[in-house]
Each structure stands twice: as structure tokens, then as C-alpha cells.
A and B are shown apart, each in its own frame.
Chain A
Amino acid sequence: MNTTTTGHITGIIANLAIIKVQGPVAQNEVCYVQHEGAPLMAEVIKVRSGYAYAQVFESTRGLKTGTPVEFAGSMLEATLGPGILSRNYDGLMHDLNTMEGIFLKRSDYTHALDLERRWGFTPLAKPGTLVQAGDWLGEVRENAIPHRIMVPFSLSGTYTLRRVEPAGEYKVEDTIAVLTDAAGRQVEVSMKQKWPVKQAIRTYIEKPRPYKLLETGIRTIDTLNPIVEGGTGFIPGPFGSGKTVLQQAISRQADADVVVVAACGERANEVVELFSEFPQLEDPWHPGRKLMERTVIIANTSNMPVAAREASVYTAMTIAEYYRSMGLKVLLLADSTSRWAQALREMSNRMEELPGPDAFPMDLSAIISNFYSRAGIVKLRNGHSGSITFIGTVSPAGGNLKEPVTESTRKAARCFYALSQQRADSKRYPAIDPIDSYSKYLEYPELQATLAEAILPGWVDLVNRLKNILLRGKEAAEQINILGDDGVTVDYHLQFWRSEVVDAVILQQDAFDAVDARTPLARQKYMAELVWDICQMCFAFESFEEVAPYFKRIINQMKQMNYSVFESEAFTQFEAGLQDILAERKTN
């Protein structure tokens, strides 16, 4: 790349600028359109016979032909260093809090890190050691998290560590170490580095298969279709089915060191909810710490520039990879990946590219799977491991799952949490369809082994038995619908109501109730076993009409248990009440 390349605008269609270029230009190179003295950031997305096609990350209002353009000589980069956590960024990693005024002004590009703040640095590596990109040189405390200062990812090959600064207070741009390469050339290293967001950070030695549950406290996920550390999942569902509520619950409750939330083309008020609540809410895994301490938010809401939507998910992924390289357990959430795909579609249509299905770009599937493949658990050179668990939502047009974004994502993600309109309509939240949804990880012997150890030997069997109850309940409901209540035997009603117990007690969970919202694993195990016991019981019924009222009492009692603090007096009382009800009709 060449830093002296310039150009001028020759065409504008919405946020696509066509630029006549003088000098060399790279695909995905960043450039600045000099509009009335204000540089507007843009990214080259196509080059053809002397013209660069660039997506402008700002409103193009007022741009004229002839407007000068300067090329930056670099691709779209994330700025990495201590001080990312607790911050709110736009899609290009500008700090939203340090921008001026109520409204977003064009070209108000704020710095991602606080350059003045001093961090307490402790060296980790000894001079004389051979190091490579990603190796840990030192450490600072970022909130309560050990933030490793690493050899810059952009350095290739092996270097000798000449000098590390002693423990002390440093700013992010201060030199904290000096390296030399094989030829003896010196490289100064600070706590700040840059990385092009569309490239994966690959400083690990291997990517094993995930094997460990990532606890979310959401029963229908943890118990029935668990997500794992380093796993991938997606949540498709029509509007209003509960994608955002579910994702936000995961962001609050999951057992992660760092949570990166990419609000991609969705509502601003939903991000405001995070901004305003996370600084107050307790981190359930670290009493005394606030959720915001482990969280970073990348917000490109639906009214922010469309072109930056794509950038926002890549920026988020790059930040996640940065923390993963420190040996941390990172959770990355994106709501909604469909908006990113739509942004790609808008741009591809403007460039009059040959459209694929539903006018999305032809390579949509490859783009999505490439992105999901950046998640995963990794083994670092120093023996530590880190992980990125990625869960994205998908917003299918018309709620129809046979559309390109859902279908492409299904190929890339290993957990599928399908939200059903019908469940949402009948307020059975979270509306994850227990029968269509799956977690491929349940089939992994590695995970089965750790679950058996962490929860109960044979846990996966129990889970499959519960799933079977749900399936048989659905079949029974269909039969009853076709033949009528009295057209089937009482057994069918029993079969149906057993599945209703599983549904009401395990699947349904009130995200807005202080107690019910989060169910720790031990409690999930307790309730799953209790539900299974009930599913195995035989009851005496004279007629089908007795079944529903009886089971409603059972369900009501168990719901009261769910609303009570585990093993509290109230909980125990409701459980005793449940046993009384069961004793009334139990025959085995």
C-alpha cells in the first residue's frame, strides 16, 4: 500500500462513492472523502479500471463530483489495548461517550483508547527469551481482568526480547518492551496495537473441539441444548419472538470473562438498556463486580450508517480474538446478523453485481461461514487456552426460515435455537422450539464426559429422555386434535400433560423475574430429575376430564418453586405441597 494515493469523487449513489484514483489502491483500503474540510471515512470494496468503489461510513449528503479523497494506506483496523472493556463504541470503534453533542456528527472520530490514562504494568517475560506474535510480555489489571500485553500480532517470525520495562505505571503508547529480529533490527512495543478487522488473529497453535459447557442459566439451553466454551450458535425468529431478550439474558448470565456485544442494525433503545443497566447489575459470577466491567458494546444501531454495519461485527470479532489471545473465556453476541447481510445486499445491488437468492450477494454463505469459523477454543503457545463462544441472531424475512441468511447460518453454526411464533404468541418464553432446535455438541463424547462429571453420570441420557417426552407429547396433542378428547385413551392425555410439565417447568422461564431468570446448573439438575420422576409416575384417572385439572395443579406448584429461591423455606414448602398432590393419585 502507498500512503500518497489520492483521488476525487466522480459518482455518488446513496452511500456508494465512485472515486477516480491516482496511484495504487488496495481492496478494503480505508480512504477519507474530504467534504468541506471534514474527512468522511470510507472503505474500498471494488476497484475497476482506475476507479475505486467505496462505501462511505457516513451520510453522503452534499458530496459533489470532484471532492478530493485521500487513501490511508491501511485497511479497516481495530485499535487494541487496555481500556476497551466497559466502553461503548460505534461500528468503527470510535468511543461514543467522548463524542460531542446529542447528535452524531459526521467525522467526529474519537479515539478507541484513553491515551492519557496510566496502567499498572507488570512484566511477565524475561529478557533473552525468544518470542512470537501473541506471546505475553506483561500484564495490566483492566477492571478485575488480567489484561496481557502481547507481542504485536502483525509481527511475523521469531524475535528476541531485549528489554522489558520494570513494573510501573505506563500509558498505552509508552514503550514497554524492545524486541530484535534475526537481523538485529529493533522493534519497540507499546501496549497498543492495530489489527485489520476482516482478518482473523491466528496466534494460537491449535483449535481443539469444544468440550466444556458454557453455563447460561437458561434452562432450555443448558439442560436441553447446551452451548459450549468456544461453540457457535444462532437464534433465528420472527420479530417479537424474543431474540433480543434471550441474547441479553445470555449476556448478563453467561459464565464468561469478557462479553462483547455487537448491536448490529437493531434498535437504539435496546442498547440504551445495556448502557444504563449493566453498570448497576452485579456480575453473577464475580460478586462485587458490575456487569459492565466485563462487557464491551459495539453499537451500530439501525439509524447509524449502513456501511458501518458490516464493520461492526468484524470489529467485535477482532476485539473478542484479542481477549481470547490473553487466555480468556470470551462470549461474543451479535444482534442481528441479518442486518449485516442486508447491508451487504444494499451495497451489492448498488454496484449492480449479479444477485444471488433474494438479491443477496452470491458469496453470502462463504462470508457467514468464514465469520463463524473465527470463533472457537484455542490452545496458546504458552499452554493456556482461551475461547470465543459466538451466538448470533437471525431475523428471517416474514419469519420464513427458508431464506438465504438462515440457511447459510445453519451450515456454519452448531447450535440452533429456533424461536417459534406460536410459542411467543402464547407467552411461552423463551420461545425456543424444543423439537426443532438442536445442539450438535450434545453428540460430542468430550462434552458428554465433562457433563457427566460436572452434573451427573448419565446426564445426557436424562436429557434425551426429557426430549423424548416432549416429542411424544406433541404427537399426543396432534392425535387429540384429530380425534377429540374422548376419541383417544386417557393415556394420550397423560402423555400430553407430561410434556406440559417439562414445558412449563423446564422450558418456560421468566426473563424478568429476579429468581426465575437465572437457574444455576445444580438447580437445573434438581428440577430435571424431579420432572423426570413425575414423568415416570403412574396415576389413577377415571376419565380424561380429570387429567388436565390435576396436572395444572402440579404445574402451578412447580412454577411456584421456580419463582422461589432454591432450597429456601418457600421452595421446600411448595415442594412438600407438590408431593401431597402427587400422593393423591399416584399408583406406583
Chain B
Amino acid sequence: MEILAFQRVYTKIEQLTKATCTLRAQGVGYEELAMVHGRLAQVVKIMGDEVTLQVFSGTEGIPTNAEVVFYGKPPTLNVSDALAGRFFNAFGQPIDGGPEVQGEEREIGGPSVNPVRRKQPSELITTGIAGIDLNNTLVTGQKIPFFADPDQPYNQVMAMVALRAKADKIILGGMGLSNDDYLFYKHVFENAGALHRIVSFVNTTENPPVERLLVPDMALTAAEYFAVDKNEKVLVLLSDMTLYADALSIVSNRMDQIPSKDSMPGSLYSDLAKIYEKAVQFEAGGSITIIAVTTLSSGDITHAVPDNTGYITEGQLFLRRDTDIGKVIVDPFRSLSRLKQLVIGKKTRADHPQVMNAAIRLYADAANARTKLENGFDLTDYDERALRFAREYSDRLLAIDVNLHVEDMLDTAWELFGKYFSKAEVGIKQELVEKHWKEMPRKLPQLSL
């Protein structure tokens, strides 16, 4: 974005904070982009002729006589098929040594889809991971984050899901991504021969945090181009939305806004919703599916960021290490896919909903039995069986290293039901039991029922 000759140059900044500067200027539009001392900035407040700019890379070293020039437009991205296979920074500038992308210039953070122009999502996404496909089935047009502590392998799981999801385009929005993780994504996509389907907008830990605020809108503007103009199935990966929210709080605190819970801005819900609600299924076949990660601090989902996220997204996938089997699992209790009922039992086998619920209920019984054990009480025969079931269920179905077809997941579940329980204990609709029940040899003597 070159500066045009006729543009007015201001040189008198009146106020500086760590993330913002204020000056007097005329004819400036709200959310307009500016260059302050060679750094990109955006208008966040106008009061009379006093304009406050948020300087993305911070204000360190900016003098009061720095040059300020306004662009007369909000941040934009050039969109065309040439985006595919390219890597950009948060401003949409190439970081892969390639040329600038030619194409139609579009404002980022554009308007919302009219809800009546949306189509109800109904296309199953399979990942091979039973903790997802069996218990928390995903659908195109869905928005769902992984909730995970920072030490969980969420980037690996997201990359795996993205590659198995059969998307036409994968758009990576990296926010505060470590350089190693950025290279990890690059290598995985490269090894899978998928680079031509990838578009990346990356802010790494080496870049200033406030720049991150542009990443989701850049990624989603590219996504809308492919989903709307090209009717493609687009998968957007956003990692890590907690670091995005941290950047929001930095800016709002610098602007003296009254912080609400966990020092997050009061508008956090709306800010996050504007991003996540870009997920959509269009009538014409194009779709935007968003898979994000929200890192937690020691599993606390009541913190403002995961809490607001959970209220916005269509479920969450909770990653946790199961110490019994020594593997990372998708926790069936805290995880949820709100769109699963649109496909399970319809696009998958009819027994899917009941099998899923029954297995989770039995897994919950095992959790109760474990509490009993920990409190030093004797276990009943049922408790013992539930515990054994839980271990095998966790290992063969919940672990993230599972890669099965949905039918095989269901068959495995029936096998475990037959192995550990009676029909009444499983409590599934009779007609389904008659069709799928697998009589298995019991390890434990069965109680006479």
C-alpha cells in the first residue's frame, strides 16, 4: 500500500500509550487504516477532530513529531485464486518470498450473511477419530474449538483433522503461533501434498501481539472468497483464539475501557461471535467450517475466553490426557458437537445416537465407580465391569490416535457392550438391540439377572 502524493501528512501526535496514539486530523473515517511512523494503525475512536489510532506493532519509539498518513479505507485483502498456496503475515503481505497477490481488493471484517440465505448444515465431516466422529460428529459450516491446556497436541490434531476433512481449501490463521508450530503446519501440509490447497495468515510469537487482531478477518475474507465466489468447501483453522483475546484485552485496557470478567473487554462476546459466525453453509454448496483452539489455563473453562467461546461456537472438543491408558483422548463429558443431531442416525447408521449416548452413560458409571474406589469403598460387580469397559472404550475409541470408519466405531461399541454388560444395563431401544447386539464371552462371572 503506497502513500499517494496528495495525501496529507500529520506530524503532531498529542498522546501516546503502549498501543495507541491520538492526534488532531480532519475527514478521517471510523476504522480507517493509517501509517504512523512507518507502522500500520487503525482508527478506533473519533472525538471531534481528535482521532485515536491503534498501532498494531506497538508505539515503542514513536516520537510526537512522527509522520502520520491516513489511507482513506479500512484494511483490505486482494482476493483471487492466486491466494492458494501462499503464506502471508497479519497484514496480508507475503512472507514466502512470492509476489503480491493480484485480485479484487476487499475490505476485511465485512458484513454478515443474512440468516435466511444460509442453508442448514447437513454434510458430515469424517476425521477417523472416534472421539469426534462417534461422539461429537462434525458438519460442514460448523464452528467448533478444541479446548486444551497449552501442553496438549492440539496443533497436531487440527492438522490431522484438516487433512482428513476433504476440504477444497484449508486456511490457517495463526495467532501467537510459535515458530516451531508454524513450521510444523507447513511441513505437514507439504508432506501431504496439500500446499496448493492452503492459504496461511500467520502472526508468530516473534510478531507484536496486537497484529493478531487482523488475522481472523484476513483468513475469513479469503475463506469467503473461495466459499462464495468459487462455491468451495473451505476449512479455516484458528490457533490460538485465547491469544487473540489477550490482544483484545491489551487494546481495550490501553483505551481505559472498564474491563469485565478476567480483565477482558465487555464486548468480548460480540468480538468473538463476529469471527465464529462467519462459519456458514451456502445454498450453492460452498461452506466455511471453522476449527479453532482455545487454550485453557489448567482446564478452567469458566475463564471468560472459553466461557464466551462456548456460548458462541457449536460445541467444543475437550482434549485431556487419560492417565489409565497414557494417551490423549477427546473427553466425552465436556465435549459437545451441537450439530451432530443433523447427521447422526441420518447420514450415519440408525443406531448411532443411541449407541453414542449409552456408551457415554456407561463411561459416566465408571467415573462414579472410580470415585468410590478412591474413597476406599468396595466395588460391586457392576462397578468392576464399568471400569473395565471404560478402559477399553477409552483406548479403542476415545484416544486421538484412532482412525476408523464410523460403522467400525459403532461395531466396536456394540462389541464392548456385549462384553461387559447385559441388555438392560445398556438400555437401548429394543429394535436396535435386536439388530446389533453382540453376545460376547464375559470376563467376569455374570450376576443372575
Contact = CB atoms under 8 A, between A and B. Distances in A.
B74 A102 contact: no
Contact of A268 (B115, B303, B339): B115
A13 B252 CA distance: 12
Contact of A399 (B48, B257, B302, B371): B302
A104 B27 CA distance: 26
Contacts of A88: 115-116
Nearest to A504: B427
B228 to A, nearest CB: 7
B6 interface: no
A346 B371 CA distance: 44
B312 interface: yes
Interface stretch (B149-157, B194-202, B263-271, B290-298): B263-271
Contacts of B141: 269
B424 A553 contact: yes
Interface string A1-18: 000000000111110001
Interface stretch (B173-181, B353-361, B403-411): B353-361
A299 interface: yes
B168 interface: no
B399 to A, nearest CB: 20
B378 A484 contact: yes
A425 to B, nearest CB: 5
B74 A62 contact: yes
Contacts of A306: 267, 270
B439 interface: no
Given A62-B32, A269-B118, A485 B377 contact: yes
A132 B261 CA distance: 50
A90 to B, nearest CB: 9
Given A63-B30, A306-B270, A345-B260, A269 B339 contact: yes
Interface in B289-333: 302-304, 307, 310-312, 314-316, 333
A119 interface: no
Interface stretch (B12-20, B88-96, B106-114, B241-249): B106-114
A359 B447 CA distance: 59
B258 A398 contact: no
Contacts, number: 204
B191 interface: no
A175 to B, nearest CB: 33
B27 A64 contact: yes
B17 to A, nearest CB: 16
Interface in A84-128: 88, 96-97, 99, 101-106
Contacts of B31: 60-62
B382 interface: yes
A301 interface: yes
Interface stretch (A271-279, A325-333, A463-471): A271-279
A102 B266 contact: no
Main secondary structure of the interface of A (DSSP, over half): mixed
Contacts of A301: 112, 115, 277
A358 B303 CA distance: 14
B119 interface: yes
B311 A239 contact: yes
Contacts of B270: 265, 302, 306, 342, 346
Contact of A559 (B113, B338, B422, B427): B427
A106 B380 contact: no
B431 to A, nearest CB: 9
Contacts of A156: none
A563 B114 contact: no
A395 B311 contact: yes
A560 interface: yes
Contacts of B107: 61
B113 A102 contact: yes
Given A62-B29, A398-B261, A563-B429, A104 B74 contact: no
Given A306-B270, A345-B266, A484 B277 contact: no
B100 interface: no
B39 interface: no
A553 B448 CA distance: 12
B266 A12 contact: no
B115 A299 contact: yes
A588 interface: no
A501 interface: no
B381 A545 contact: yes
Nearest to B381: A545
B336 interface: yes
B111 A105 contact: yes
A433 B273 CA distance: 29
A398 B307 contact: yes
A486 interface: yes
Contacts of B26: 65
Given A103-B110, A267-B277, A485-B372, 14 more contacts: A63-B46, A88-B115, A240-B315, A269-B141, A306-B270, A398-B307, A484-B377, A485-B378, A485-B380, A512-B341, A549-B382, A552-B427, A559-B427, A563-B429
26 contacts: A60-B30, A62-B29, A64-B27, A101-B114, A102-B113, A240-B338, A265-B269, A267-B314, A272-B119, A302-B269, A303-B273, A303-B274, A342-B266, A346-B267, A346-B270, A349-B266, A355-B258, A399-B307, A425-B333, A425-B334, A485-B378, A486-B378, A553-B449, A556-B424, A556-B427, A560-B429
Shortest 5 CB-CB contacts between residues of A and residues of B: A302-B273, A303-B277, A398-B302, A239-B310, A484-B377
Interface of A: 10-14, 18, 59-66, 88, 96-97, 99, 101-106, 238-240, 265, 267-269, 271-273, 275-277, 299, 301-304, 306, 339, 342, 345-346, 349, 355, 358-359, 395, 397-400, 425-427, 481, 484-487, 512, 545, 548-549, 552-553, 555-556, 559-560, 563
